Every structure is written in C-alpha cells, then in structure tokens.
Homo-oligomer: A and B are copies of this chain.
Amino acid sequence: MEDRRVKLADVARVAGVSRASASRALNGGYGVSAEVRRRVREVADRLGFEPHGAARALATGRASAGSRERIEIVIVDPDPQALSAKPFYGRVLTGAAQALAGHDVALELKLVPAPPSVDGDPPFGRILINMPPLPAAAYARHGRNIALGASAPGVPFVAPDNRGGGHQAAAHLVTTGRRRVGAVFGPDTPCARERQDGFLRMMAGAGLTVVSAHGDFTRATAYAAAKQLLAREPRLDAIFAACDVSAMGVLQALREAGRRVPDDVAVVGFDGSALADAADLSSIFMPAEEEAASAVQHLLDPALPPPARLPTALTVRGSS
C-alpha cells in the first residue's frame, strides 16, 4: 500500500540476493554471475528502481550523476526583452555553447533585472555580464568568475578592443576618401566612450574634425541624430554609428534625405551582428562569440591567463 520510493534493498530482497550483489549487478555488473545480474536487472526494471543520487554520491565520493557541473551566464539587464532585442547576448551564448561542446558541463542562463544575491551552492563558474563592481566582487568570493567587460578589480574579464575598433572605422573612412565625416556616438558607458575615443583620435590624427551627436544605441535616437547632423553639415560624406542598430537609424535618415549610400554618404556601424549582415552594412566586427568562448575556457582552466582585450575587425559591406 505504501507508495514510498523503491530502494536497492527492495530490489535485493525481491531478487533474493544481498544489497551488495544487487549493487554490483546494477553498476557495471562485474563480480556477479550472469544469472544474478539478469535477475536483479529484471527486478529493478519491474519495480522501477531509480538509484538515490545523493546516497550514491555520498557513498562514492563522486558528484552525483544528476548534478553535472554548470556554468552560469548571469546577464543583468532591466529590459526583460533584452535577449530578443540585443544580438550581443545571443552571440555570447553561441560562444559559450561552442566552448562547452564536449565538456559535460551544463550552461545555465540567468537573466535578471538587478544583481541577484549569492545563493545556494556556487556553480562551477560564472560569466558576469553588466554586473556592477560591488556584486561582482561578492560573487568573486564564491567560485570562479569572469566578467564580459571590465568589472571589479580582482575579477578577471574579457573585452573587445573598442578603442581600436573606433580607430579602424575612422581609418576606413579616411582611406576611402571621405572628408566630411559625421558620427552618432553612444551613451555614457565605458564601451561607448572607448569607441568614440578611438574614432576621434584617428580623425584628429588625419586632421579632420567630426560633426557628432550622441545617441543611446537605439534606432530612433540615431535617426533623429543623423537628421540633425545633416542639417548642420549638408555636405557630409560619411557617418559612423556607435552600434549597428544606430546605423540602421542613420541609413533611414539618409534614405529619406535622398542621399545614396554609399555613393553620397558612407555608413559604418559597430558590432558586426547578424543585423549588419542582413542590412548589408559595413561594420566593425566585435568578437562577442570569441569573448564568451575565451571566458568559458578561462573558467574551465583558470591557469590560462584571461585574454583581457580581443581585437575587432573591419567588415566592409555595401554601405561604404
């Protein structure tokens, strides 16, 4: 009548052997007669025996089969739709999944609006995205961690060479003969500032001034900013956008203003996401997948030094 879970002892009793033999018959089967093995397995099947993972783990010392190691990807983003709207996150997952292929490690995704407190038993490792320094430091005290983008001191991180990327964009425009250059930069974040920095430095080196506006990495804002840029300098022959999504807004503004791309105006974005490819947009490729992959590799083998800065690359498409 009792509906309690069937245990090894039950199987052993029904099969008419000791628990030791039952255990051996079930695991590998070495050291038991074929007859006993067959009988025990048959009974275990019939009774629906499922070994108690914790007990097994305790007895063997090995971690239980059910509790594979796992790496958490902790994304802090107030926008619950972030994974839909920002290609970056998908690319991170791509890189992490690839680096984990063949390693029996689970990939757990945590998308949270605010930094979660350190809970339960720590995972094998964590990849921290947009994690403020304070909670990042707290995490760092429990298990291995690596951040995407600089985080708290002491927490290793991987990041793209944003400055170099900005430089590459500027160099591309200059070497293709553009002279009246506009730019829609990003918001006030380290990453956006670095891109801007690299871009302006190169332009200054080339003796060119830049007509610029600030955006927030969204299409709508970039669209308005580009219109404003055109009003300030109608002879613009190039516009740099701090991210691909912004570049889409720029393209639309140019189209509406009757400018041909790339004939009249060249456009270069930043990110190199699928969006750039789909829109035939020249863009500075940011190795998001590679960042995530090397983050995972660092977690798997902390002896490897964290790679810190990864190079970007210019991808020329139809817009420049």
Cα separation A248 to B280 with both chains bound (whole Å) = 8
A91 beta carbon closer than 8 Å to chain B: yes
Residues of chain B with a CB closer than 8 A to A81's CB = 94, 289
A97 pairs with B121, CB closer than 8 A? no
A278 beta carbon closer than 8 Å to chain B: yes
Q: How many copies does the complex hold?
A: 2
A108 pairs with B106, CB closer than 8 A? yes
Question: Of B90, B97, B107, B275, which one neighbours A275 at CB under 8 angstroms?
Answer: B275
Cα separation A294 to B33 with both chains bound (whole Å) = 50
| Chain A positions 74 through 109: 1 when the CB is less than 8 Å from some CB of chain B, otherwise 0 | 000000111111110111011001100100001111
Cα separation A70 to B89 with both chains bound (whole Å) = 21
- Contacts A82-B94, A98-B80 hold; do A278 and B245 have CB atoms under 8 A apart? yes
Cα separation A273 to B57 with both chains bound (whole Å) = 45
A252 beta carbon closer than 8 Å to chain B: yes
Residues of chain B with a CB closer than 8 A to A205's CB = none
B120 pairs with A66, CB closer than 8 A? yes
Residues of chain B with a CB closer than 8 A to A109's CB = 93, 97, 107-109
A13 beta carbon closer than 8 Å to chain B: no
The residue of chain B having its C-beta at the shortest distance from the C-beta of A288 within the complex is: B84
- The stretch that binds B, out of A35-43, A47-55, A193-201, is A47-55
B97 pairs with A83, CB closer than 8 A? yes
Query: What are 22 of the A-B contact pairs (CB < 8 Å)?
Result: A52-B58, A53-B54, A53-B121, A54-B54, A54-B63, A55-B58, A58-B58, A66-B120, A80-B101, A83-B94, A84-B91, A84-B288, A85-B274, A87-B90, A87-B274, A90-B90, A90-B93, A93-B93, A93-B109, A94-B111, A245-B278, A248-B278
